[in-house]
A and B are shown apart, each in its own frame.
Chain A
Amino acid sequence: MTEANKVLELKNINKSFQSLKVLQNLNLEIKKGEICCLLGPSGSGKTTLFRIASGLENADSGQIIKNNKLRFAYVFQSPRLLPWKTAAENLIFVQKNYGLEKEAELRNLLFELSGLAQFKDAYPHEFSGGMQQRLELIRAFAVKPDLVFLDEPFKSLDMKTRVNLRKLISVIQAETGITIFLITHDPEEALLLADRIYILAAEAKGIKKEIMVEQPRDSREIADPELYRELENIMEIFTDLVSDIEYVREDIKKLF
């Protein structure tokens, strides 16, 4: 990867909360125009890494190399919408910071794409959870970002909304070339969306494996033998992480 192609690079990142080490010597890089997925089980430090990479939190040590001229946008795990502003005003709120508040056509397109066109003037409390998450998502794209950080944006959504949002991200990314850094705990989601997958392993506190998915995104299906093999590999890594459960099987039997 050439230097010019890199949007973000993390070198030897360490982070602890009191005595708990969350990240240890973590290295990662994101290339311009790709969808990069950070995959890991709960508690593996995904959100901490997201916060450090996006600049919301400082690392204890290590280096974060990013081009400050690039525009970043954020999609948080649970929607962070201003409840006293309408859907459109929520978009305008962030657009104003970049002089984009007059881009009504862009807003209209994003509302159209996300199925929220009729709800532009509604307040967030009038939205369902899925609609709020969609609004959170299009707000990120409303600032014409170079890199979007998405922290498990589909976590608490139903299957249909997940599939739709995944498609939405995929289409916008394909047409605009915006770089996307997505955090998820769902291996299928990672395989269907990402060009590059980093697997964060709990016990290693760092990147355990890097996977490149070469197939064109549009034609990917999880039943595809190649993808399925990757899925199995990932599941194996995940299973390793919980193998300790076997040791307590006898105790469970005895105590219950």
Chain B
Amino acid sequence: MKNFITKPFWILLIIIFLIWERGAAGLNSLILPSIGETYQALKEIAVSGILVESFLITFRRTVIAYGMAVIAGIILALLLHRFSLLQRTFRPLITIIQSTPPVVWVSLAVVWFGVADDLTPIFLIFIVSMPVIFVNIYQGLEEMNTDLIEMARAYSTPRFRILKEIYLPSLLPALVSALSVAFAFAWKSSVFAEFIASSSGIGYQLSRANSMLATDRLFAWTIILILFMLFVEYYLLEKLKEHVSRWKND
């Protein structure tokens, strides 16, 4: 978290809080709840157990779909890199999937799966984050230093060791970057799909707060979403990034 919590950021955060509090004082809490009201709402959803329950539901869906997207993205990248016929056939399709707005996928998912609890969010997360993983890994493979592979072959290195000790470490930076970008996509898609077409999870709670004009709850859930995203991005993934690039000259 050390790269994230810097002194200027704290100052900015304090300024934002001051503006928020100042703005809330002159406005109806339906439009802008105060920090105190938001905290109260946060406390309520935490005490009632909805917070943990909804968080776990969204988290579970994200992890399942994200995991599937990571595996599929890597396998596809390896296959398309290895076989040029597959590359020529499927590469444009992945670009099409990637450039289709998520709202189209949600609409289609509702038509195909109905307002299903798990299927719609899982489908959306998968379809949105898989191309991100694919593109990063594919690019990593394309930019692979073939000189090192040639050196390893010249010294009669077995194929398995080339994969493990050259391909994998070469791809790790691209993989970590892909994991990072794709997780942000996955988390947002999950909430979006739940908002539109689910009856559980954080997205659904946001949708409920919205329809009940409970702006304080809307703010409370948003803070939860942001905090979790920051924890993943600046703590978990940052640690992973540091580990994989320890041999790099920064």
Contacts and interface: CB of A to CB of B under 8 A. Distances in A.
Sorting the interface of chain B by its residue count into under 10, 10 to 19, 20 to 34 or 35 or more gives: 10 to 19
Interface string A86-107: 0000000110111000000000
Interface in B216-250: 247-249
A97 B157 contact: yes
| Residue of A72, A82, A94, A123 most packed against chain B (CB within 10 A) | A82
Contact of A83 (B153, B155, B157, B248): B248
Interface string B124-163: 0000000000000000000000011011111111100100
A94 B155 contact: yes
Contact of B151 (A74, A98, A125, A126): A74
A80 B148 CA distance: 6
Q: Is the interface of B mostly helix, strand, loop or mixed?
A: helix
A247 interface: no
B72 interface: no
A84 B247 CA distance: 5
Contact of A82 (B153, B166, B249): B166
Nearest to B157: A97
A4 interface: no
Contacts of B247: 83-85, 123, 125
Interface residues of A, number: 21
B166 A74 contact: no
A82 B166 CA distance: 8
Contact of A56 (B150, B156, B157, B169): B150
B155 A76 contact: no
Nearest to B156: A97
B165 interface: yes
A56 B155 contact: no
B249 A76 contact: no
A144 B147 CA distance: 22
A80 B146 CA distance: 10
A82 B155 contact: no
B148 A82 contact: yes
Given A97-B157, A97-B158, A125 B248 contact: yes
B147 A80 contact: yes
Contacts of A93: 152, 157, 165
Interface string A67-84: 000001110100010111
| Residue of A76, A84, A97 most packed against chain B (CB within 10 A) | A84
Nearest to B147: A80
A72 B154 contact: yes
B246 to A, nearest CB: 8
Contacts of A85: 165, 247
A84 B164 CA distance: 12
A74 B155 contact: yes
Given A123-B247, A125-B249, A96 B161 contact: yes
A84 B169 contact: yes
Contacts of B249: 125-126
B39 to A, nearest CB: 46
Nearest to B170: A84
A73 B248 contact: no
| Residue of A55, A80, A85, A143 most packed against chain B (CB within 10 A) | A80
Nearest to A98: B156
A105 to B, nearest CB: 20
A80 B166 CA distance: 12
A133 interface: no
Given A82-B166, A84-B169, A84-B247, A94 B157 contact: yes
Q: Which 9 A-B pairs have the closest CB atoms?
A: A125-B249, A80-B151, A84-B247, A84-B169, A94-B155, A123-B247, A74-B154, A97-B156, A80-B147
Interface of B: 147-148, 150-158, 161, 165-166, 169, 247-249
8 contacts: A54-B154, A55-B154, A56-B150, A72-B154, A76-B147, A82-B169, A96-B161, A125-B248
Given A54-B154, A74-B155, A93-B165, 13 more contacts: A73-B155, A76-B147, A80-B150, A80-B151, A82-B148, A82-B165, A82-B166, A83-B248, A85-B165, A85-B247, A93-B152, A125-B247, A125-B249
Interface of A: 54-56, 72-74, 76, 80, 82-85, 93-94, 96-98, 123, 125-126, 143
